[in-house]
Amino acid sequence: MPSLNKVFLMGNLTRDPELRYTPAGLGVATFNMAVNTPAGKDENGNIKTETLFVDVVVFGRLAEAVGEFLTKGFPVFVEGRLRYRTWEDSNGIRRSKHEVLANKIQFLSALKNMPAEEEERQSNFMVEISGDNDVPF
Amino acid sequence: MPSLNKVFLMGNLTRDPELRYTPAGLGVATFNMAVNTPAGKDENGNIKTETLFVDVVVFGRLAEAVGEFLTKGFPVFVEGRLRYRTWEDSNGIRRSKHEVLANKIQFLSALKNMPAEEEERQSNFMVEISGDNDVPF
Amino acid sequence: MPSLNKVFLMGNLTRDPELRYTPAGLGVATFNMAVNTPAGKDENGNIKTETLFVDVVVFGRLAEAVGEFLTKGFPVFVEGRLRYRTWEDSNGIRRSKHEVLANKIQFLSALKNMPAEEEERQSNFMVEISGDNDVPF
Amino acid sequence: MPSLNKVFLMGNLTRDPELRYTPAGLGVATFNMAVNTPAGKDENGNIKTETLFVDVVVFGRLAEAVGEFLTKGFPVFVEGRLRYRTWEDSNGIRRSKHEVLANKIQFLSALKNMPAEEEERQSNFMVEISGDNDVPF
DNA sequence: TTTT
DNA sequence: TTTT
């Protein structure tokens, strides 16, 4: 039973992320990102763009970094796995959706329009928590 | 605006694939696959398994290969991109879902329990259409 | 300083793997694999094949699985990172080479020509050590 | 014979790229990049960094973009495949090395320290040539 | 529900 | 709605 589940995305946050904590004190950040993919050409030869919107979930110290540093519009690189979550909504209806459980996030615009000391602060934090992130489930 | 959208999956078909053709005669195959990911341990130290179910779409000659050779339970490797499709259902309700648009598929069980001539037939077909598949949209 | 180093390979062992142990008792397996990539066509329209030969290194329990189960010709899936190693050879000449440090290996031919009990034995072992492998350096 | 050969890298150019042309007029750019990977911790708990140096080759319009826009130190994302090249050097000695044949490159610092009009120029060029690049061999 |  |  060989198995593999790997996702790589680069795109921009569509809104500010949300940071919560589990009862056990583990950080959980969620955000939505937009990924623009060139997707063929239209009749006039112009490149069409297909936009993927996808929710991303991240845990632990990486979640805290996301909550502290990322905002709407920020460009990020995400490595993680696809996840299919099913739950019952408040009306008792069975619902389900795909999302990405991230184990690695790179801030691509730590590079841009940012005071040097803030860039250094982010960079230090990211190095400190570097490596693939533990994913609790 | 750096962008990237890449997915790698290995898993098994949950049912037989469906092969259709566009008015222009382009093959379109769809199938659903299950990907079992080890996902942490339970209280007793046993590895828990999280199952991802995801629809895969594929076009062109690769679609025809899928329609001809794959069946329920077959293990495959899929490379493609995540796609978020929105449409209106028959009741006029706006619906949306994620799926994977595949540009490459490897048959992992061409290897197993298969008459040699059938394995060769599949292999020849796959070599003939090899390379990354053109994705029309 | 965003950084990423990720490699995915599928191919066959070119010879039996070698398993050693560090003084601290950590398993270290090395093997060479061949990856055949379709690479354009020749003048007659035949698909040309380019063969990549690459050394793979793996540590810990995964190394032991490699040493126990893999043999020349076996097909494997490898996920890891590229590594550039420099050393001095026995003549004092500075040498260097690239290799892949694997954090995940899937046995693709557990599927083929194998007694059921052996397949189950391998499968159990792989599930037991499943998840991404810790890489010591 | 399932096969796969995929590499993803993010890092910085170690020197300016070189752009040449084949007799048929096809652009060929080569550059060397450094990828810093966090690689375990030393005795004092500090994160160690392992640096990968690797040559990258790219063809066609993407090669021209590389030659025109990239310089030493520039951060890039590279998607491609590993390649093992053997040749005879000027002393008739058989030599070989690994390199990455890129089919996609993203300029990560188009974002930084760059006049708006230059950023737009690069961006337009990259959109124009966007999509995976054809790799001639 | 959306970002550049 | 599910596969091994």
Work out the minimum CA distance from C125 to partner chain D, whole angstroms.
23
Residue with tokens 């796969």: D4
Indicate yes or no: CB of A136 within 8 angstroms of CB of B35. no
| More confident of the two residues A49 and A137 | A49
pLDDT band at residue A72 using 50, 70 and 90 as cut-offs: very high
Percent of chain A with pLDDT over 90: 58
* Residue ranges of E strands in chain C: 4-13, 18-21, 27-41, 47-59, 75-88, 94-107
Contact A31, A19 (CB under 8 A): no
Q: Is the dihedral of CA B79, C75, B108, B28 positive or negative?
A: positive
Q: Mean of the pLDDT values across residues A76-91?
A: 90
B105 pLDDT more than 60: yes
Amino acid A118: pLDDT: 76
In whole angstroms, give the CA distance from residue C89 to residue C96.
10
Strand F nucleotides in reach of protein CB atoms, 7 A cut-off: 1-4
Place domain D7-37+50-87+94-130 in its CATH homologous superfamily.
Answer: Nucleic acid-binding proteins (2.40.50.140)
In whole angstroms, give the CA distance from residue A67 to residue A18.
6
Q: Mean of the pLDDT values across residues C44-70?
A: 92
Percent of chain B with pLDDT over 70: 91
Q: How many CA atoms lie within 13 A of B37 on its CB side?
A: 22
| More confident of the two residues B74 and C1 | B74
Mean pLDDT for all residues in chain C: 88
Q: How many CA atoms lie within 13 A of A125 on its CB side?
A: 20
For C2, nearest residue in chain A (alpha carbons): A106
Mean pLDDT for all residues in chain B: 87
* Residue A114 DSSP SS3: coil
B45-63: string of b/e by CB count within 10 Å (b at 16+)?
eeeeebebebbbbbbbbbb
A111 pLDDT more than 60: no
In whole angstroms, give the CA distance from residue C2 to residue A8.
14
pLDDT band at residue A121 using 50, 70 and 90 as cut-offs: confident
Residue with tokens 């063929």: A40
Instruction: State which of B119-123, C2-6, D14-18 shows the largest mean pLDDT.
Output: D14-18
Strand E nucleotides in reach of protein CB atoms, 7 A cut-off: 1-4
C54 pLDDT more than 80: yes
Q: DSSP class of residue C15?
A: S
In whole angstroms, give the CA distance from residue D23 to residue A69.
50
B75 pLDDT more than 80: yes
Label residue A131 left, alpha or beta by phi (over 0 means left) and psi (-120 to 50 means alpha).
Answer: left
Q: How many CA atoms lie within 13 A of D130 on its CB side?
A: 25
pLDDT band at residue C77 using 50, 70 and 90 as cut-offs: very high
Indicate yes or no: CB of C37 within 8 angstroms of CB of D81. yes
Amino acid C118: pLDDT: 76
In whole angstroms, give the CA distance from residue C65 to residue B108.
21
The A residues from 106 to 135 touching B (CB cutoff 8 Å) are 108, 135
Contact B28, B70 (CB under 8 A): no
Which CA-bearing residue is nearest the C1' of F2?
B14
Amino acid A2: pLDDT: 84
pLDDT band at residue C111 using 50, 70 and 90 as cut-offs: low
Amino acid D53: pLDDT: 95
Q: Provide the CA C122 to C1' F4 distance, Å, integer.
A: 15
Amino acid D136: pLDDT: 67
Indicate yes or no: CB of C77 within 8 angstroms of CB of A106. no
Amino acid B112: pLDDT: 54
Residues of chain D with pLDDT under 50: none
Amino acid D112: pLDDT: 54
Which CA-bearing residue is nearest the C1' of F4?
A1
CA–C1' nearest nucleotide, residue A55: E2
- Interface membership of B21 toward A (CB under 8 Å): no
C90-101: string of b/e by CB count within 10 Å (b at 16+)?
eeeeeeeebbbb
Amino acid A45: pLDDT: 77
A33 pLDDT more than 90: yes
Amino acid D14: pLDDT: 97
In whole angstroms, give the CA distance from residue D124 to residue A85.
39
H runs (alpha helix) in D28-115: 60-69
Q: DSSP class of residue B92?
A: S
A47-56, B91-100, C68-77, C110-119: least confident range: C110-119
**Can you read off the two tokens belonging to residue D37?**
């990977």
pLDDT band at residue A132 using 50, 70 and 90 as cut-offs: low
Amino acid A42: pLDDT: 77
pTM of the predicted model, to two decimals? 0.92
Residue with tokens 């890891």: C80
pLDDT band at residue B47 using 50, 70 and 90 as cut-offs: confident
B45 pLDDT more than 80: no
B110 backbone dihedrals φ, ψ, rounded to 5°: -50, -20
